[in-house]
A and B are shown apart, each in its own frame.
Chain A
Amino acid sequence: MKPRHKRLAIIVSGVALLGIAVALVLNAFQSNLVFFFSPTQVEAGEAPRDRAFRIGGLVREGSVKRGQQGLIVTFVVTDTAKDIPVAYSGSLPDLFREGKGVVAQGRLGTDGVFRATEVLAKHDENYMPPDAQHAIDQAQKAQKTVKVP
C-alpha cells in the first residue's frame, strides 16, 4: 500500500465514521429537533407541558373567528385526526388562510386552549398560476359532490 493510498483510506474511513457518529447523535436528539408538534402528538402528551412550544397543522375550514375588539382571533389547528383550539392576539401573516398550513408558538392552557404568542404561515412546495389552482379546486369540488356517502 502506497502512502497516498493509505492517506486516502484514512480520510474516507474518517469521514464515514464521522457520518455515522453524526447520524447517531441526530437520531438521539430527534425529538428536540422538531420545529413543531402535531395535534396528535400534543394529545398523546409528547409536547412539553410546562414551557412554550410550537404546534403545526392546518387551519380547519370555517374555524377562524375574529374577536369583537382588538386583534383577538381564535381558530382550530388540525392534522385531520386531532384538533386543538388556538387563541391569538396580534397580526396574522398574509398567507394565513383556512385550510392552509400554520405554525403557532405558545403554551397549552389547562382548559386545552393553546394560547399563541406568534403565528407563522406554512406554505407548501407547489407553485402554479391562479387558473391552474382554480381548475384543481373545481375538480376536487366535483369529486366531493359525485361521491355518494
Chain B
Amino acid sequence: MPSRLINWFRFGSPQSFYPLAGRLVPWFTAIAVLTGAAGLWVGFFVAPTDAQQGEAYRIIFVHVPAAWMSMFLYVIMAFWAGVGLAFNTRLSAMMAHAIAPTGAMFTFLALWSGALWGRPTWGAYWVWDARLTSELVLFFLYLGYMALNAAIDDPRRADRAAAVLALVGVVNVPIIYFSVQWWNTLHQGASVSLTRAPSMAMTMLTGMLLMAIAFWMYGLAVVLARVRAIMLEREAHTDWARELKEVGQ
C-alpha cells in the first residue's frame, strides 16, 4: 500500500469528487463575500486618491484582478483539457468545461472595466493596441471553446475537439501578459510583478490583492458548483448518481 496520507487519485473520480466539491463550495463562497466586501471597502474608502488620475484609477480594484483571473483561468482550463486529452480521464474534461464560462465572464469584465477606465484617462474607450487586442482574442477563445463544446453532440468527441482549441489558444496568454513589454502600447506596464517591488501605494495594493483573493474564491466556488452540475448530467446513468439524495426518484 502507498504510504502517502491522502490518495489524490481517489478524487479523480466523479463519485468521490462530487461530495468533496459540495462541501467546499460554501467555504469558498463565504471567503469570497468577506474578502470582496473588505476589498471594496478598502478600494472606495481607505485607499487614497491617485496623484495623476484622481478618482478614476479606482476601477483598478476590479479591472486588474479580473484581468489576472481571465488569463489564469484560461491556463487552468487548457491544463485540464490537455490532461483529459492525454489520459482520457472523465473529470478533467468536465473541469475544463466548467471553467470556460467563468473565464469568459472575467475576460468580459476586464475588457468592459478597462473601457470605462480608458475613456476618462486615455481619452478613448478602445484602441487597437497589442494588450487590448490580445485580451479580446482571449475572449473569443473562451467563446469558441464553449461554442465548439456545444456544437458536437457526442460529449467525448466534443471534449477532444474543444481541448485542442484550448491548447492552441494557450499561446495567447504569454502574449497578453508580455505585450506591454514587447511592443509600444498605450496600455501601461504591470504595477505588480514577481520580480520587483510594486509601484503603488500600500493601501491601494492591499485593496487590489483583497479583490484578487475574492475573485479567486468566487471563481473556485462557481466552477466547483458548475462541475457538480456537469457531473450529474453526464453521469446520470451511473449507480452513484442515482443513489444521491438530491437526485431523488
Interface residues of A (CB under 8 A from B): 4, 7-8, 11, 14-15, 18-19, 22, 26, 30, 33-38, 56, 92-96, 100, 103, 118-130, 132-134
B127–A35 contact, CB under 8 A? yes
Residues from chain B with Cβ under 8 Å of A129 in the complex: 48-51, 201
Pair B53/A95 contact, Cβ less than 8 Å:
yes
A-side interface mostly: mixed
Tell whether, in the assembled complex, residue A93 and residue B87 are in contact, meaning their CB atoms are under 8 Å apart. Answer: no
Cβ–Cβ < 8 Å partners of A127 in chain B: 50, 52-53, 57, 60, 191, 199-201, 204
In the complex, given contacts A93-B121, A122-B122, what are 13 additional A-B residue pairs having Cβ atoms less than 8 angstroms apart? A4-B86, A4-B87, A4-B88, A15-B168, A18-B171, A22-B175, A93-B120, A94-B120, A120-B122, A126-B200, A127-B53, A128-B50, A130-B51
Chain B interface residues toward A at CB < 8 A? 48-53, 57, 60, 82, 85-88, 120-124, 127-130, 167-168, 170-171, 175, 182-186, 188-191, 199-201, 204
Task: For residue B44, give the distance in angstroms from its CB to the closest CB of chain A.
Answer: 15
> Known contacts A4-B87, A120-B123: does B186 contact A35 (CB below 8 Å)?
yes
- What is the CB-to-nearest-CB distance from B59 to chain A, in angstroms, rounded to a whole number? 12
Give Cα A100–Cα B188 distance, bound, in whole angstroms.
Answer: 13
The interface residues of chain A lying within 8 Å CB-to-CB of B48 are 128-130
A7 to B: closest C-beta gap in Å: 5
Would you call B167 and A94 a contact (CB within 8 A)? no
Task: Show 18 residue pairs from A and B whose CB-CB distance is below 8 angstroms, ordered by the A residue.
Answer: A11-B167, A15-B167, A15-B170, A18-B168, A26-B175, A30-B183, A33-B183, A93-B123, A94-B120, A95-B123, A118-B123, A120-B123, A121-B123, A122-B122, A122-B186, A127-B57, A129-B48, A129-B49
